[in-house]
Structure 1
Amino acid sequence: MNPGGRRLKQWLIEQIDSNIYNGLLWEDENRTMFRIPWKHAGKQDYNQEVDASIFKAWAIFKGKFKEGDKAEPATWKTRLRCALNKSPDFEEVTDRSQLDISEPYKVYRIVPEEEQKSAVVHQDPAGTFNAAFSQMMICFYYGGRLVGSTVTTHPEGCRISPCQPPLASGFLYGPDSLQNIRFPSADLIENERQRHITLKLFSHLERGILLRANREGIFIKRLCQSRVFWSGQDPQYNPNPCKLERDAVVKIFDTARFLQVLQLYQEGHYQSLEPTVTLCFGEEFNDFSTVKSKLIIVQITALNCQQLVDAVTARRSQYSSGNLEISDDMAGDQMARIYQDLCSYPVPQRASCFRDNLPIPV
């Protein structure tokens, strides 16, 4: 399915079985769930060599760190958390996690392959879509540094803001049914001046933005006072970042356009392809070369489309190496199912169609 995810699953099982990482162990006898240590670096008894060892090992495995480099335990931890959230092989079991004890840990479940396959594409006589089409990977960057990530799970969409909205405030903050996603704490920012300015920007982001994904694409609605700029999935198709107008519903990711570009990528006409949209809060955003200098960047990835890209990339790699015997049949089946379901959906050609059934009602 997801080649990167498969590597993570195999690697992580090997680490659990090795018994060399303190607190990394199986949660049940059937080896369907495992504990992973999750101690905050700010705790007095935090020991980097022990408490960050599994996160450091993942960074080394992925080539993101080598001995002699500057140690960044918070970044190591964020990278592994992002990988776990993104992979279809894992699901956090929040009611088993223990984060308020002296040796805190999270619990993750290994999702069986049969369960993954049945959840990918499923359409009924009513034409409703499976929740998988609403899943987005949302990553937060402060000053170019990855500080957090999460995967959306609500078909109705999500709200991204610095705070929990007041009760019964749908008119100002959007429907209560939306998944509420908060910006990571500014305490994660080491530079004092950058932290101060970011907190000031938060005060202009109170109402936040609304996001919703479906088979047509990803839609956004800006409610906050702060300016928000976005850059789409295809620089050749939409080269310049655009400013979001307040209270307007805007389609920032187009599934039909993605499928066209995916075909070109499969044929070798594109060097790379990422089904990701970038948002920049409070500052002008000219091009990707300036991303690291921005206070708040949020990147949104359509997970189903990312799985397609991963499968195509794996096949391109096999063809270029001439080694076709190692092709993953499961990856091919997954790709075919997602592709067929996406292509079978009649994407509207007129913008007015979106007004008839607003993807993000307020």
Structure 2
Amino acid sequence: MATSRPLLIPWLVEQIESGRYPGLHWVNQEKTEFSVPWKHGLRQDSSGDDVMIFKAWAEITDVEGQRLHDPTVWKRNFRSALRAKGFQMIMDQKNNDVNPYKVFRFPEGQREASAGRVGKRVRRETKRDAERCAAGNADLQDFDQYYSSIAGNLDAGLKELNISGTQQGTYFNVLVYYRGVKVLEKLVENNAGFRVVFSPEQMHCDQQLETVILPSADQIPIRDQMQAQLTRRILEKLGAGLEVITQGAAVYALRRGDSHVYWSLCKHDRSGVPQEVSKQGNQLHTLKEFIADLLEFMKNKGPSPSCSLFFCLGEKWPDPSQRPWEKKLITIEVSLTSLELLKTIAVDGGASSLQSVDLQLSRSLSLMSSLEEMMDCL
């Protein structure tokens, strides 16, 4: 038998009016908008007071007592409940240095409820509503388990994903091309990153990084002597090479040799503005930016986010003269496998694989909520 639960709106009104939760209060006289503390759990000034309202909702809705000790889950479930009921976030100050918070507006048609009938007994759901809510929470719990291993950061390997029996960490699929012809493909199974060199004896002595050794220019057809000569020149000046490393929730690149290296997030980049990898290092890709772009893509508001990095050795890229990537002498494509898998789940493994339209929508919204929660944690 499903356990009855309080309806969110009258329960939330009662909590706001109670004054028991620091930072939870009305922000307008009509009592249709309220502020909620939204402090990152890793901040030095974070405390139990910052998550009290999230914990309170978790305790009365998680009837099986699952995961009641995870503030991140509390916050995500609270926001999912607001989203499901039609609440609108009208102000986001989660990055405020002094007082991080968010302001939400009650859904239209619920203003009388939000004005408060404090002291009246909180209405309970009917058996039918309770069963439907319990089923929905079960779906959400399954969904959370399906996607929970995505949370984390690139430095720690994004936590291993366990989906349909397939485990995969933060790997780098490295493909090397000489004038558009693939000459090397290697899967780097190293969360720290890798280095690209031509002469192993010249590489930097960082044992944490896996080494990718570029093949000789002898693989280039003998009829193209000029291409082979220019390719050898770039390879010989590569020295200690190019390093691609993870640090925090980001991917960086560092040039250690004399051959200039350029990069982009797209192999068809037509911006004409070269981006050079410096000897001091460049941040190339962040998990936060990827999730933000993925959310926009899921809402049909933006293009598909890139899961790859495209490097060009010895020649400017993106090319100011619009010369295509395939025509460059030495190019390297690096696919970030965890991000590829995350995008596949979001696009193909989510709603499209489900039979029920209602369940498709429910899980799609849950994924978006989970991704937004990940954004808050980065």
Q: TM-score, normalised by structure 2?
A: 0.47
Q: TM-score, normalised by structure 1?
A: 0.49
